[in-house]
């Protein structure tokens, strides 16, 4: 009899991970920080986070439960707070979490190394295997179960975090994961005004503008939720225009599944030209408007 535990904070992830857990183990226990999806696990532990407390601190509540259940496998949703909870549980179990798993077969987890420069297969050697799993890995699996409810009372850790406020991030603009065209901008753009040519091109094709990580963090020219890559969004539009970005692996893994990739860079030796269908050597300030004009 094998047992798997799933820990998630969003319904979609809870459902997919439970389905995956079902394919790996006989018994599935879900710990949900959201409404549990219907019929997805044998048992569902609902954890209510008291107001002012941080979800990260749920580890104190979960450690006794984990010990009691003793699962061989723990599948966790890869969010910041869940990674924090998983790390605490792993520390307690004397193991390490294998993170951001893109494929899982016979306990061997495939993930990225150096942000995509390499692909690494790893296997846990401890009795409890813990993974955070990327969305889509278990898309083909089907969840099942009675959803028997277990109530866990909140246990506060010794030095608890105090949440003073929470402000939702308003997502503006096009959903890049669903757009047919994404124009991605990089450090070749130095100011908000310069971005206009990218916005014009995206608008003329009914697409959206994404970016590389330095443009969202540091340069702050673009919202954080629009950067594409290993630590950001993964997109697969029909057309991806990589403009003024060098084409580092950490970025390119986020758009590898795109249909047509067009690169615009003023440096003819930029690595992006080895990863595109068409490349245009030139300044984004002139090339993008010319493309927009040619397309209208």
Partner 1 sequence: MKILVAFKILPDDQDIRVAADGSLDFSKAKPIVSSYDANAMEEAAQLAKACGAEVVGITVGSSAIDDSKVKKNALSRGLDRLVMVADDTCDNLDSHATAAVLTQIAEKEAGWDLILCGDGSADNYAQQVDVQLAAALGAPSVNGVTSIKLQDGCIVCERALESSIETVEVSLPAVVSVTPSIAEARVPGMKDILAAGKKPVEALVLETDLSASVEVVSVKAPDQASRACEVLEAGEDRAIEKVAAAIRAAL
The residue within the footprint of ligand FAD, chosen from 87, 229, 237, 279 (CB under 6 A), is 229
C-alpha 77/C-alpha 200 separation (Å) is 37
230 contributes a contact to ligand FAD by CB under 6 A: yes
50 contributes a contact to partner 1 by CB under 8 A: no
Find the part of the chain contacting ligand FAD (CB under 6 A) among 90-98, 99-107, 175-183, 281-289: 281-289
164 contributes a contact to partner 1 by CB under 8 A: yes
196 contributes a contact to partner 1 by CB under 8 A: no
226 contributes a contact to ligand FAD by CB under 6 A: no
Partner whose footprint covers residue 124, from ligand FAD, partner 1, none (CB < 5 to 8 Å by kind):
partner 1
Contact (Cβ atoms closer than 8 angstroms) between residue 52 and residue 163: yes
Token duo for residue 135: 């969305």
Query: Nearest approach, Cβ of 28 to partner 1 (angstroms)?
Result: 23
Q: Report 148-187 residues binding ligand FAD (CB under 6 A).
A: 186-187
Q: How many CB atoms lie within 10 A of CB 94?
A: 9
Write the binding mask 185 to 224 for ligand FAD: x where contact by CB under 6 A, - elsewhere: -xxx-----------------------xxxx---------
Write the binding mask 205 to 244 for partner 1: x where contact by CB under 8 A, - elsewhere: x-------x--xxx-x---x-----xx------xx-----
Partner whose footprint covers residue 33, from partner 1, ligand FAD, none (CB < 5 to 8 Å by kind):
none
Q: Which run of H or of E encompasses 105?
A: strand 103-105
Parallel, antiparallel, or unpaired: how do β-strands 103-105 and 108-113 relate?
A: antiparallel
Contact (Cβ atoms closer than 8 angstroms) between residue 112 and residue 99: no
Does the CA dihedral 157-158-159-164 come out positive or negative? positive
Contact (Cβ atoms closer than 8 angstroms) between residue 21 and residue 47: no
**SS3 category, 174:** coil
Partner whose footprint covers residue 151, from ligand FAD, partner 1, none (CB < 5 to 8 Å by kind):
none
Query: Nearest approach, Cβ of 146 to partner 1 (angstroms)?
Result: 30
Query: Could you tell me the end-to-end alpha-carbon distance of the chain, in angstroms, rounded to an integer?
Result: 63
Find the part of the chain contacting partner 1 (CB under 8 A) among 19-27, 30-38, 109-117, 136-144: 109-117
> Where would I find the H helices in 189-283?
196-204, 213-216, 249-252
81 contributes a contact to ligand FAD by CB under 6 A: no
Furthest-apart CA pair in the chain: how many Å? 65
139 contributes a contact to partner 1 by CB under 8 A: no
251 contributes a contact to ligand FAD by CB under 6 A: yes
Cα 253 off chain centre by = 12
103 contributes a contact to partner 1 by CB under 8 A: no
Q: CA dist 147 to 10, 28, 91, 150, 189, Å? A: 16, 9, 28, 9, 51
Residue bearing tokens 């130095």: 190
Chain residues that interact with ligand FAD, rule: CB under 6 A? 115, 186-188, 212-215, 227-232, 244-246, 248, 250-251, 254, 264-267, 270, 283-285
């Amino acid at each position: 009899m094998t047992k798997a535990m799933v820990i998630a904070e969003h319904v979609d992830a809870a459902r997919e991970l439970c389905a995956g857990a079902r394919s790996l183990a006989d018994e599935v226990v879900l710990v949900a920080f959201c409404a549990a999806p219907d019929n997805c696990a044998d048992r569902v532990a609902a954890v209510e986070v008291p107001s002012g407390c941080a979800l990260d601190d749920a580890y104190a509540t979960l450690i006794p439960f984990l010990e009691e259940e003793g699962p061989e496998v723990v599948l966790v949703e890869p969010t910041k707070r869940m990674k924090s909870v998983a790390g605490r549980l792993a520390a307690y179990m004397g193991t390490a979490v294998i993170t951001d798993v893109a494929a899982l077969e016979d306990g061997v987890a495939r993930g990225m190394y150096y942000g995509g420069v390499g692909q690494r297969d790893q296997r846990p050697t401890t009795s409890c295997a813990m993974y955070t799993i990327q969305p889509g890995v278990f898309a083909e699996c089907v969840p099942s179960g009675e959803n028997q409810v277990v109530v866990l009372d909140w246990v506060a850790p010794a030095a608890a975090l105090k949440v003073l406020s929470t402000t939702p991030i308003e997502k503006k603009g096009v959903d890049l994961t669903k757009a047919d065209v994404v124009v991605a901008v990089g450090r070749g753009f130095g100011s908000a005004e310069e971005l206009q040519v990218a916005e014009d091109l995206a608008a003329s094709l009914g697409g959206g503008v994404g970016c590389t990580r330095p443009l969202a963090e540091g340069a702050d020219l673009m919202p954080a939720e629009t950067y594409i890559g290993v630590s950001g969004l993964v997109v697969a539009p029909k057309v991806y225009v990589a403009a003024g970005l060098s084409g580092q692996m950490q970025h390119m893994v986020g758009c590898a599944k795109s249909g047509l990739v067009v690169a615009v860079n003023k440096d003819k030796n930029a690595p992006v030209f080895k990863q595109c269908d068409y490349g245009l050597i030139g300044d984004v300030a002139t090339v993008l408007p010319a493309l927009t004009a040619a397309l209208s």
